[in-house]
Every structure is written in structure tokens, then in C-alpha cells.
Amino acid sequence: MHAPYRGHRIVPAASAPLDAFTTPAAAYSMRRLRSAYTGPAIRLRRASDNAEADIPFLGFTSFTGAPIDTAAANAHCNATTCFVRTWYDQSGLARDVVMTTAGLQPLFVANCQNGLPCARTTTAGQKVETSAGITTATGKGTLNAVAHRVAGGQYCFPIALAPGSTGNAIFINNNPNEWALTDYATFLVPAAAENAWHTAVGVINGASSVIRLDTAETAGTVAGKVTTGPISIASQPDAGVTCSYVEGIYWDNYFLTAGERAALTANQKSFWGF
């Protein structure tokens, strides 16, 4: 059986959630974000024999979105564990995020959130990231992520630019009930219910920065850093924590408006069912 669809009131037939948005600089998801994208969703490595397979998206049916084909994933991963080796970029810029080291690949969980799949990190160092550095145009832009700290009290980074304190990131803080938008010197920290799914949109624009967490916004100052480095998704720098991830998007030198932020987070909450 294919996984159930979500967001039937939000995503129209033959459309995708980002079709009405400015094309992002990078986009990763366990569902199709742009109808113009026709490639696979992820590449999975199975533990039993290290065989790899690309997993496609399902098509659009009536007023539904297009999640990955979990039947194809389950067939490849039958009776063994699978890991995310590649998470394909849907922006059209081929900025796929990859982890070739087997022990550092995020776990693939087929039934993660309301019957839909996710990537999950449980060990320090797990992540997928671009193999080449991305140079930001102005150091300003918009980050978006949908994630969940399942257990533990350490950091998880759903999306980061040039991770390691040289860029910008949305991360789940080591304090309970906190997410953050940061330049690693200043932090915008809205309250976030612990052990729950959240969607965050962070606009990085100096004194006009803002982070929207679900339906509430927190404004402040976050410096946009002009930098060159990888885009990192589903990154866990610390032991003692388990986090799940379904979506990460980056717009370079483009600020989602208040209306766009509200529309995107409403779509994500409806589709993923939280």
C-alpha cells in the first residue's frame, strides 16, 4: 500500500507547494515540491548488501500532494535497514546532498509521521550535504525546514549553510522547547513545544530578520553571511539525541513575504499532519 496522502485542501491537482513561489536555490523533501521537477526523491542504501536504489515520487491524484513511493522503498529495504545516501535537489540546480560514509548516513524511516517517511539521525556526525561549496549571493535569504526532535537534549540542524559557525542555520537548540535562526553570534529563539513536529521559516536580513515557527513570528537581528560552503541537511553534531526531518528549502537573496511564510507553513502543517 502507498502511504496516505496529506494536505488535500492545500495542494491542488497537478500542482506542487512551491509552484507559486520564486524558485529556490535548493530544495529537499520527502514529497515533490515543484511540479517541474521530474527526478527521484532520494537514493537509499540497504544494510544487508549495500545495494543502492533511487526512490521516485508518486504522481498527483485528485487534490493531493506527491510523497515518495514508499512501496518502492519498502521493496528495496525488505527485511533490512535502509539509509539515505542522497537527497536530491528539486530546485533544478543539481545541488544534491550526499553522504558516502555508511556509518554517517541518516536512517530512512518509512512510517515516520502519519504514515509518511522521514530521514532520522541518531548518531553524532550523521548528515547529508552538498559535495561542492555554495557561494551565497549577498549572505541574505530565507531558510525553511520541517523537523522533529524525537528524544534527547542536544542540537540538531535541519538546514545549515556552511555549517561550523561560518554561515547561517535553522537549528533545534540544546535547551528544551527552543528552535533558533542564527548567524552563530546572535540567535532568534521562539518557543517550541518539545518532542513535536514544527515548521520554521527564517528570513536572514540583518535587523529585519524574522523566524516563523508554525503560526507565530519572532523578529530580531541576524547577520547574513556572505560565505562559501556546503548546504547541510539533517545534520546532527552531537550524540544523545534523535531527530527526524522531512523538508529543507533555501532561497538565496530572496525574502519570503509574510503572506508567503504563512502559506508555506500552513501547507507543510497540513501535508505532514501536525
Instruction: Report d(CA 41, CA 87) in Å as an integer.
Output: 6
pLDDT for residue 1: 36
Per-residue pLDDT of the chain (274 residues; tens, 9 = 90+): 344 444 443 444 457 999 999 999 999 999 999 999 999 999 999 999 999 999 999 987 544 679 999 999 999 999 999 999 999 999 999 999 999 999 999 999 999 998 999 999 999 999 999 998 888 888 899 999 999 999 999 999 999 998 777 899 999 999 999 999 999 999 999 999 999 999 999 999 999 999 999 999 999 999 998 888 999 999 999 999 999 999 999 999 999 999 999 999 999 999 999 9
The CA-based dihedral angle spanning residues 251, 149, 87, 46, taken in that order and rounded to the nearest 10 degrees: 180
- The answer to whether 55 and 42 have CB atoms below 8 angstroms apart is yes
The sign of the dihedral angle between the CA atoms of 139, 94, 6, 177 is negative
- The answer to whether 125 and 237 have CB atoms below 8 angstroms apart is yes
Which residue in the block uniquely carries the three cell numbers 541537511? 233
Find all residues with CB under 8 Å of 130, minimum gap 6, and list them.
Answer: 26, 95, 96, 97, 98, 230, 231, 232
Instruction: Report d(CA 35, CA 185) in Å as an integer.
Output: 38
Provide the grid cell at 95.
545541488
pLDDT for residue 53: 98
State the pTM of this model: 0.93
Domains of the chain: 26-272 (2.60.120.200)
Q: Which residues of 4-40 are buried (b: 16+ CB within 10 A; e: fewer)?
A: ebbbeebbeeebbbbeebeebbbbbbbbbbbeebeeb
- H or E element that contains 82: strand 82-87
Centre a 10 Å sphere on the Cβ of residue 55 and count the other Cβ atoms it contains: 25
